[in-house]
A and B are shown apart, each in its own frame.
Chain A
Amino acid sequence: MSASSRRFLFLVRHSPLAGARFRETLDMIFTVAAFDQWVTVLFLDDGVFQLVAPLGEHSASDLLWGPMLKAMDFYDIHEILVDEQSLRLRGLTASDLVIGAALVAPEHVRTLLGQHDRLVVC
């Protein structure tokens, strides 16, 4: 990573029902990663549903944007985070997530914002 690199934090707040919106968010994320920048993605509010498979399904392949989401490994995304409170308010737990992600407590979100140079609200 070069000296001029920036830390990008993407806030994903829209559910899979928002049409191609998440696809366009992933386009931004992958473009930034392709420029060799530090990328963190935080799913919060209805955004947490992006990582939850449809009822009766259990794998990342069943997600609407599953194949593209799985490419996050390939693009060397630094961290995939999920707001723990958003999950709880929607009756979900970490075991409902089909993509590996770390839970973040609401009070840590503020710290997270301070640790990044570019905040992209999607």
Chain B
Amino acid sequence: MKLAIQINGHPASSMAATTAYQFIKAALRKDHQVILVFFYYDGVFSRLVPAHTEAETAAAVAPPDWAALVSEHGLDLVICSAAAERRGLAALSPAAASDLMRTATPVGTFRAGGLGQWVDACLRCDRFIVFAS
């Protein structure tokens, strides 16, 4: 089944990104296809999410490792550029964004995009799922 995912919640104050990440991993294990993960509203902060301590990473529900999903499954992670710009994120160069994180999300994990890509995925997918804040 072709899935399109939207993540709306801020990674620090909602479980949206973490839940979506777990869902996506489970779906991929079942051989479903994820055609787009779209970050909107405060979800765009996923690009800047601070690195976690080892204790947090070892916790029962580990924080999202988006870079691993991209390298292992070639997922398309799109940050809405308009939403990011509204939150002052677009102005950050990849290097500056990395400075804000204790462990940098590799450059190229996320790509900037727009609502056109989101609608396109909504029309092509079998199921569209929103992880709200």
Residues on A lying within 8 angstroms of B by beta carbon are 4, 6, 8, 20-21, 24, 27-28, 31-32, 35, 37, 118-122
Q: Give CA–CA (A118, B119) in the complex, Å.
A: 11
* Chain B: minimal CB distance from A110 (Å): 18
* Chain A: minimal CB distance from B130 (Å): 5
Within 8 Å by CB of B130, from A4, A32, A37, A121, lies A121
Q: Is the interface of A mostly helix, strand, loop or mixed?
A: mixed
What string of 1s and 0s marks CB contacts (under 8 Å) between B81-100 and chain A? Answer: 01100100000000000000
Q: With A31-B116, A31-B119 given, can you name 8 additional A-B contacts, CB distance below 8 Å?
A: A6-B122, A8-B122, A20-B86, A21-B41, A35-B119, A118-B128, A120-B6, A120-B128
* Chain B: minimal CB distance from A81 (Å): 19
Q: Is the interface of B mostly helix, strand, loop or mixed?
A: helix
Q: Give CA–CA (A106, B49) in the complex, Å.
A: 38
Q: How large is the interface on B (under 10, 10 to 19, 20 to 34, 35 or more residues)?
A: 10 to 19
* Chain A: minimal CB distance from B32 (Å): 17
Chain A's closest residue to B129 (CB) is A119
